[in-house]
Amino acid sequence: MMHHSSFPEEGEKDLQWSEFIDRLFETAAPYLAVRGDADHTAVSHGYSLTLLQNEGGNRRIVEPAVILHDVGWSVLEPENISAAFGVLAKGEEAERLNRIHETEGAAIAEKILRSFDYDPGLVESIRDIISRHDSGETAPSLEEALVKDADKLWRFSRTGFWQETARQRLNPQTLLDFLEARSRHWFFSPTALRLAQQELFTRRDEINNLPS
């Protein structure tokens, strides 16, 4: 008689994975609350699922990296945070603060993942991605490309676009122009570029239909 193997079946594995993702979101929540990044993280995570589906890549690296990529903002003072990000943030100080959120974020992410007994090799990859998710111009791996694309797509989404215009006190048209110019060479994956263009089309519609 054959014994049932101790490895989880596919459906069971998916269930375990989605439970892990839920718990990871819960653990990250207090860190993300500092800059009000819960929506950003949820929206970026949603995009990452579409990107994984279309581009391939290891979800065991991409999903946790997306969920934890901005936990590092939690170490900065609120008044420093606004100086460090957004369309208008420029100069050495913005760059310095941005690097802090990356390096601190990588360390916090590592601590959180170790508390889940997560695979050490994967933790290493996730840590590396978070440590340069904003400042790195290149993406040495497909997983890193997808994390960076999912993060950037936030600004193109309905929630992200309108939250950012409010948060950065931008004229919607200014942000739209900025995103349109950037989108052409900003993304690593064809899927992200396609999603960005679809979103821009819809945002343009929304702006044109604003009550005057």
d(C-alpha 194, C-alpha 61), whole Å: 23
d(C-alpha 149, C-alpha 153), whole Å: 6
- Please check whether residue 130 is in contact with residue 69, taking contact to mean a CB–CB distance below 8 angstroms: yes
d(C-alpha 164, C-alpha 57), whole Å: 29
Per-residue model confidence (pLDDT) at position 35: 80
Output phi, psi for 183, to 5 deg. -55, -30
Task: Please compute the mean of the pLDDT values over residues 57-65 and round it to a whole number.
Answer: 98
Per-residue model confidence (pLDDT) at position 80: 60
Residue whose pair of structure tokens reads 């990588």 in the numeric block: 106
Angstrom CA distances, 32 to 24, 44, 93, 185, stand at: 12, 13, 22, 28
Q: Indicate the range of 52-56, 71-75, 184-188 predicted with least confidence.
A: 71-75
Mind listing the pLDDT tens digit for each residue in 99-139? 778 898 999 999 999 999 999 999 999 999 999 987 778 99
Report how far apart the first and last C-alpha atoms of the chain are (Å, whole number).
Answer: 75
Domains of the chain with bracketed CATH: 10-208 (1.10.3210.10)
pTM of the shown model: 0.88
Per-residue model confidence (pLDDT) at position 136: 74
Output phi, psi for 8, to 5 deg. -65, 145
d(C-alpha 109, C-alpha 86), whole Å: 23
Mind listing the pLDDT tens digit for each residue in 135-155? 778 999 999 999 999 999 999
Q: Where are the alpha helices (DSSP H) in the chain?
A: 10-33, 38-55, 59-68, 78-84, 91-115, 120-130, 142-153, 158-167, 172-186, 190-208
Query: What is the DSSP code (8-state) at residue 154?
Result: G
